[in-house]
């Protein structure tokens, strides 16, 4: 073994009996190839009991390593199987690569850093690897990190869905509201999502009986799932989803009235915003409609109902919040605006979960923040081919996973 081989061995962090035996540079392919081996008669510890054992047989394998300058670098070695007198024949774990991978650990570590910062396809172009192989690496380490996740202290969760692509294809996500991290994700939006979540939670040390609060939208599937699988959880209907029900009713009133007030057609987004977020031109248009004699504009009346409902969340006490909600319900149900009466009936149906907000003070705002990260990554990547890939990315970006116990170099 020459000086160059010894230097490369030190750079790779090899320990005896492993050595760099030969170095080749292929000018045509622009590849550096390092050949690793061990001396005849070497012994290796049994992976089960650490007993020093003789080599039973070997199989030659090759791994992609980090580039050497601008050139691709590969390691080739005879992978030994040892014969342990106690446990029989087993393959020796390699210090530079995990079993079954065609990449070294350092290469996979670099890949995991890149896919957090850019689309997987772009990372693949930089590394010179097809993106399918990178998805395989990501899936392995995300699954491995989740095996060690500890959810013993989860008590309050938020449940929502995020879209994979158009045409109502969704992934449901469950977030630990205290830690602002995604702890479960699964394809679909069904009541069985909560059943799957409970199974996963208990596999990670948590308990369904410890979940005391759940923030959800008014989806019947989520309501049914919580009632069936989380026996001690009180439902809080997410305030932003509740307001969305009323906002949709305001827009229905606007569309019904467009024939009477033509200006309403171009003011759709103005009526969907809060007053403080309106542009000066939008605010002037709204105030002009508000000044009509006898408040003839029904859309303005609907908007005032929405604003009144939103102000309930600023009430100083639970009693005033409850009383204000009762007054709002009477006003909306007697408004002679059918969409607003429908919204009032929806509020009445979900009364307890809306009132629960005063005690729990939880919302899906944390989920909305995490979802913005997810959707930004999806937009950069121009979508994901499979739900599995999408879920892997969700965990990677928002799961706060600890990779230190996966064997991945840090």
Q: Where are the domains of the chain?
A: 3-102, 108-147, 156-238+363-398, 239-360
CB neighbours of residue 153 within 10 Å: 11
Q: Which pLDDT value is given to residue 209?
A: 97
Distance CA 11, CA 25 (A): 17
Distance CA 193, CA 158 (A): 13
Residue from 56, 335, 397, 358 nearest 213 by CA: 358
Taking the model in full, what pTM does it have? 0.87
- How distant, in Å, are the alpha carbons of 154, 224, 298, 349, 353 from that of 161? 20, 16, 33, 22, 19
pLDDT tens for each residue of 137-177:
999 999 999 999 999 999 999 999 888 876 668 899 999 99
Q: Which pLDDT value is given to residue 333?
A: 96
Distance CA 225, CA 207 (A): 16
Q: Does the CA dihedral 402-405-408-410 come out positive or negative?
A: positive
Q: Which two tokens stand for residue 295?
A: 């408040």
Find out whether 182 and 175 touch, Cβ atoms under 8 Å: yes
Q: Which two tokens stand for residue 379?
A: 């937009």
Question: What angle (nearest 5°) sits at the alpha carbon of residue 182, between those of residues 181 and 185?
Answer: 180
Distance CA 124, CA 132 (A): 9
CB neighbours of residue 240 within 10 Å: 15
Q: Which pLDDT value is given to residue 295?
A: 64
Distance CA 362, CA 212 (A): 12
Q: Which pLDDT value is given to residue 382?
A: 77
Residues 6 or more apart whose Cβ sits within 8 Å of residue 277: none
How many residues are given for the chain? 410
CB neighbours of residue 133 within 10 Å: 16
Number of helical (H) and strand (E) elements in the chain, helices listed first: 16, 11
Residue from 355, 286, 277, 270 nearest 321 by CA: 355
Distance CA 339, CA 219 (A): 19
Asked whether the bond before 17 is cis by omega within 30 degrees of 0, the reply is yes
Quick one: fold of 156-238+363-398? Answer: Nucleotidyltransferase; domain 5 (3.30.420)
Find out whether 52 and 43 touch, Cβ atoms under 8 Å: yes
Distance CA 402, CA 181 (A): 12
For the chain of 410 residues, list the mean pLDDT of each consecutive stretch of 10: 80 90 90 94 92 93 93 95 93 92 95 93 93 95 96 96 77 95 91 94 97 95 94 94 95 90 86 91 89 80 95 93 96 96 97 94 90 87 86 95 88
Q: Which two tokens stand for residue 78?
A: 């005879």
- How distant, in Å, are the alpha carbons of 18, 45, 98, 118 from that of 51? 18, 5, 21, 45
First to last CA, the chain: 30
- Rg of the Cα atoms in the chain: 30
């Amino acid at each position: 073994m020459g000086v160059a081989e010894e230097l490369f061995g030190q750079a790779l962090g090899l320990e005896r009996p492993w050595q760099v035996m030969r170095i080749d540079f292929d000018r045509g392919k622009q590849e550096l190839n390092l050949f690793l081996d061990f001396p005849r008669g070497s012994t290796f510890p049994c992976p089960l009991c650490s007993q020093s054992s003789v080599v039973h047989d070997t199989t030659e394998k090759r791994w992609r390593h980090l580039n050497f300058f601008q050139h691709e670098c590969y390691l080739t070695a005879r992978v030994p199987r040892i014969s342990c007198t106690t446990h029989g024949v087993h393959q020796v774990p390699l210090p530079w690569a995990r079993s079954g991978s065609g990449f070294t650990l350092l290469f996979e570590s670099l890949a995991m850093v890149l896919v957090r910062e850019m689309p997987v396809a772009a990372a693949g172009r930089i590394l010179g690897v097809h993106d399918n192989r990178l998805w395989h690496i990501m899936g392995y380490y995300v699954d491995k990190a989740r095996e060690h996740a500890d959810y013993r202290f989860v008590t309050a969760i938020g449940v929502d869905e995020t879209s994979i692509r158009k045409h109502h294809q969704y992934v449901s996500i469950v977030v630990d509201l205290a830690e602002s991290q995604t702890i479960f994700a699964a394809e679909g939006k069904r009541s069985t999502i909560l059943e799957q979540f409970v199974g996963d939670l208990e596999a990670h040390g948590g308990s369904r009986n410890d979940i005391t609060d759940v923030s959800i939208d008014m989806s019947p599937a989520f309501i049914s799932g919580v009632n069936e699988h989380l026996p001690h959880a009180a439902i809080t209907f997410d305030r932003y989803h509740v307001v969305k029900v009323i906002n949709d009713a305001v827009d229905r009133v606007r569309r019904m009235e467009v024939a009477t007030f033509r200006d309403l057609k171009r003011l759709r987004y103005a009526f969907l915003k809060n007053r403080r977020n309106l542009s000066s031109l939008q605010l002037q248009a709204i105030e002009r409609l508000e000044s009509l004699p006898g408040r003839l504009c029904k859309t303005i009346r609907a908007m005032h109902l929405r604003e009144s409902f939103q102000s309930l969340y600023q009430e100083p006490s639970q009693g005033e919040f409850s009383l204000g909600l009762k007054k709002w319900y009477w006003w909306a149900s007697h408004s002679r605006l059918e969409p607003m009466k429908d919204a009032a009936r929806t509020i009445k149906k979900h009364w307890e979960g809306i009132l629960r907000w005063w005690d729990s003070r939880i919302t899906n705002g944390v989920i909305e923040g995490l979802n913005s990260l997810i959707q930004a990554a999806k937009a950069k990547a121009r979508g994901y081919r499979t739900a599995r890939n999408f879920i892997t990315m969700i965990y990677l970006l928002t799961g706060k996973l600890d990779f230190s116990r996966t064997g991945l170099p840090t």
